[in-house]
């Protein structure tokens, strides 16, 4: 069940990516999403239990999915191919 709940986080992550790219560009949202991923993982480091762990997993999955989606968008722009 916990895998299903954390997998649901991917849908809002894609919506956040679409809005962030339109409003702020690409680089700043990547940095913000990575920072928020670190903050979302903090309860796991502090050995929290119960629903706090589920919320931390949901938040970390959401923000890391958003960061990597933005990274996939910006990589071809920065590192183009010579073909």
Structure tokens at 43: 């309860």
**Is the pLDDT score of 6 beyond 80?**
no
In total, how many domains does the chain have?
1
Q: Which residue matches tokens 């183009």? A: 80
Range of the domain at 50: 2-74
In angstroms, the Cα distances linking 31 to 5, 37, 38, 53, 54 are: 25, 10, 11, 23, 24
**Mind listing the pLDDT tens digit for each residue in 38-71?**
999 999 888 888 888 888 888 888 999 999 988 9
Whether 1 has a pLDDT exceeding 70, the answer reads: no
Nearest alpha-carbon partner for 20 in 32, 10, 11, 36: 32
In a domain, residue 83? The reply is: no
Query: pLDDT tens, 9-38?
Result: 888 888 888 898 899 888 899 999 999 999
DSSP states along 58-80: HHHHHHHHHHHHHHHHHHHHHS-
């Amino acid at each position: 069940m916990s895998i299903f709940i954390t997998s649901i986080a991917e849908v809002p992550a894609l919506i956040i990516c679409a809005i962030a790219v339109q409003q702020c560009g690409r680089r700043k949202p990547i940095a913000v999403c990575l920072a928020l991923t670190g903050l979302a993982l903090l309860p796991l480091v502090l050995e929290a239990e119960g629903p706090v762990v589920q919320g931390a997993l949901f938040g970390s999955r959401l923000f890391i999915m958003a960061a990597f989606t933005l990274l996939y968008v910006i990589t071809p722009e920065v590192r183009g191919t010579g073909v």
